[in-house]
Amino acid sequence: MKLRKSLLGLLGLVFMLGACQSKFTYQVEKTAHGVNIQLDSVVVNIEIIDESIIHVQKHLVGTEPRELPDYVTVLEPQEVAWEIEESTDQLIISTAMVHVLVKSDGAIAYEDANGKHLLAETKEQSYIKSELVDENIISQAFVAGDEALYGLGQFQSGIMNWKNVPIRLQQYNQEIAIPFLVSTNGYGIYWHNYSLTDINKAQYEIEFEQTVAVDTKKNENHVPVAGEKENVAAYASKEAMEKNLRETTFTPEKTGEYAFMALSDTNGRMRGEIIVSIDGDEIINYSTIWMPRRYSGKKHLEAGKAYKVVFQNTGAKIPGRLFYNEPDFNKTVFSSKKGNSVDYYFVQGGNPAEVVANYQNLTGKAPMFPKSAYGFWQCRERYHNQDELLENAREMRKREIPFDNIVQDWFYWPEGTKGPEWDRAKYPNAKAMADELKELNLKLMVSVWPEVKNEALEQQYGLRKIESSNYIDIYDPEIRASFYRMLSDSMFQLGVASIWLDGTEPEGVNNTKVTTAVGPYEEVQLPYSLEVTRAVYEGRRAEFPNERVFNLTRSAYAGQQRYGATSWSGDVEASWEQFSEQIAAGLNFTMAGVPYWTHDIGGFFRDSKSINPQFDSQYTNPEFIELLTRWFQFGTFSPIFRIHGYVSETEIWRYGQEFEDMARKFIDLRYQLMPYIYSEAWKVTNDSHLLMSPLAYYFPNDKNTWAIKDQLFFGESMMVAFVTEYQQRNKEVYLPEGDWFNFWTNEKVSGNKKTTVEASFDSTPIFVKAGAIIPMGPKVQYATQTTDEPVHIKIYPGKDAQYTLYLDDNETYDYENGEYSEIVFSYVEAANELRLSVGEGSFVDFGSTPMNFIIEKIGTDKQEPVTFNGTELTVKL
Just list the catalytic residues. 502, 505, 571
For residue 382, cis peptide bond before it (omega within 30 degrees of 0):
yes
CA-to-CA distance for 792 and 675, rounded, in angstroms?
10
* 603 Rama sector, left if φ>0, alpha if ψ -120 to 50, beta otherwise: left
Sequence letter at residue 852: N
In sequence order, the β-bridge partners of residue 46 are: 35, 56
One-letter amino acid at 453 equals: K
The residue type of 844 is V
List 718's β-bridge partners, or say none.
Answer: 714, 768
**Secondary structure (3-state) at 258:** strand
The residue type found at 354 is E
C-alpha to C-alpha distance for 55 and 709, rounded to whole angstroms: 32
Q: Are strands 597-598 and 565-568 parallel, antiparallel or unpaired?
A: parallel
Cis peptide before 428 (omega within 30 of 0): no
| Residue 223: Cβ-neighbour burial (10 angstroms; 0-12, 13-18, 19+) | exposed
Report the C-alpha gap between 631 and 582 in whole angstroms: 9
Contact 569, 154 (CB under 8 A): yes
CA angle 465, 471, 475 (to 5 degrees): 70
Residue 250 has a CB neighbour count (10 Å cut-off) of: 17
Helix pair angle (674-687, 657-672), 10° resolution: 50
Q: Assign residue 162 a region: left if phi > 0, alpha if psi is -120 to 50, beta otherwise?
A: alpha
Spell out the SS3 assignment of 66-83. Answer: CCCEECCCCCCCCCCCCE
Strands 53-60 and 692-693: unpaired
Name the CA dihedral angle for 577, 578, 580, 583, rounded to a multiple of 10 degrees.
Answer: 160
Residue 590's alpha-carbon distances to 489, 506, 849, in angstroms, are 33, 21, 37
- Cα 520 to Cα 135: distance, rounded to the nearest angstrom: 17
How far is it, in rounded angstroms, from Cα 20 to Cα 296?
Answer: 46
Helix axes 622-636, 657-672, angle to 10 degrees: 0
CA proximity to 401, closest of 777, 785, 664: 664
Q: Are 611 and 603 in contact (CB under 8 A)?
A: no
SS3 86: strand
For residues 84 and 90, the answer to whether their CB atoms sit within 8 Å is no
CB atoms closer than 10 angstroms to residue 800: 12
Please give the Cα distance from 682 to 694 (Å, whole number): 19
Strands 405-408, 376-378: pairing is parallel
Nearest to 842 by CA among 791, 807, 790: 807
- Contact in structure between 559 and 74 (CB atoms under 8 Å): yes
H or E element in which residue 358 lies: helix 352-363
The DSSP H or E segment spanning 436 is helix 430-439
Neighbours of 391 (CB within 10 A): 12
- Helix/strand number for the chain, H first, E second: 12, 54
**CA dist., res. 578 & res. 174, Å (int):** 11
Query: In angstroms, how far is the first alpha carbon of the chain from the final one?
Result: 55
